[in-house]
Amino acid sequence: MSMPLPSIYPFIHYADPEAALRFLKQAFGCEERVVYRKPDGAIAHVELTLGHGLVMFGGAEGGRLKMAASKQVPLKNLGIYVVVTDPDALYARAKAAGASIAMELHDTDYGSRDFSALDPEGNVWSFGTYQPLAAPPPKG
């Protein structure tokens, strides 16, 4: 049975996309799907996978959509949640890579094991065993 392709893909604009690429691969185990570069070698667009998910990013200065780099926005009101099978191992990996832990590893009251870490520009990446689409939504 094949899974349908997702229709929502988060994207981030980084002031330093090269540093973000290195960090996300080292700390969280993301894998390069594609890295498009400009003629001068600077990153234009990156797609990284982790498990069955994909996140896209690039530099803040490029493209038609003008956005601030994530580190230029002092308060963030969004984050990225990634379903993982072994949050303990990923937590240890992230700490060893120097990730700033925003929320320590813990068990939730809804049965997930979670933690959150910040990327180099302060974006919140949360990891846990809770799979939102595994059960039907509660009635109410």
> pLDDT means per 10 residues in the chain (140 residues)?
76 92 98 95 94 90 62 70 96 97 95 94 93 78
Give the model's pLDDT for residue 79.
Answer: 87
- HEC readout, the chain: CCCCCCCCCCEEEECCHHHHHHHHHHHHCCEEEEEEECCCCCEEEEEEEECCEEEEEEECCCCCCCCCCHHHCCCCCCEEEEECCCHHHHHHHHHHCCCEEEEEEEECCCCCEEEEEECCCCCEEEEECCCCCCCCCCCC
| Domains of the chain listed by start with CATH number | 11-128 (3.10.180.10)
* pTM of the shown model: 0.85
